[in-house]
Structure 1
Amino acid sequence: MKPVLYLAAPLFSHSEKAFNEQLARILSEKFEIFLPQRDNHLIVDLIASGMSVEDARRKVFDGDLAAVRSCDILFAVLDGRSVDEGTCFELGYAHALGKACIGLQTDPRRLLPIGNNPMLEGTLTRVLHSLDEVVAWSTP
Structure 2
Amino acid sequence: MRKIEFARKPRAYLAAPLFNDMERDFNARIESSMAPLIDVFLPQRDGGLLTKLVASGMPLEEARQNVFKKDIDAIASSDVLIAVLDGRTVDEGVSFELGYAYALGKLCIGLKTDDRVLLVTGDNPMVICSCHLIVSSIDEIVDVIRSPREIAASGNRLAF
Q: Report the TM-score, using the length of structure 1 for normalisation.
A: 0.96
Q: Aligned partners of 2:80, 2:28: CA distance in 1, in Å? A: 17
Within the candidate set 82, 100, 104, 1:93 is matched to: 100
Gaps of 5+ in 2: 1-7, 148-160
Report whether the alignment pairs 1:35 with 2:42: yes
- The alignment yields a C-alpha RMSD, in angstroms, of 1.0
Shift of 1:2: 1.1
Within the candidate set 52, 77, 87, 2:84 is matched to: 77
Q: Structure 1 or 2: larger helix share?
A: 1
Shift of 1:110: 0.9
Q: Identity rate of aligned residues, in percent? A: 51
Query: How many residues are paired up?
Result: 140
Report whether the alignment pairs 1:4 with 2:11: yes
CA contact under 8 A between 1:101 and 1:123: conserved in structure 2? Answer: yes
CA contact under 8 A between 1:26 and 1:138: conserved in structure 2? Answer: no
Q: Report the TM-score, using the length of structure 2 for normalisation.
A: 0.84
How big is each residue's C-alpha offset from its partner over 1:75-123, in whole Å with a ceiling of 9 and x where there is no partner?
0000011111000000000000000000000110112111111111110
Shift of 1:134: 2.3
Q: Aligned partners of 2:142, 2:66: CA distance in 1, in Å? A: 33
Displaced runs of 4+ in structure 1, greater than 4 A? none
Shift of 1:7: 0.4
Shift of 1:139: 2.5
One-letter amino acid matched to 2:99: G
Rg larger in structure: 2
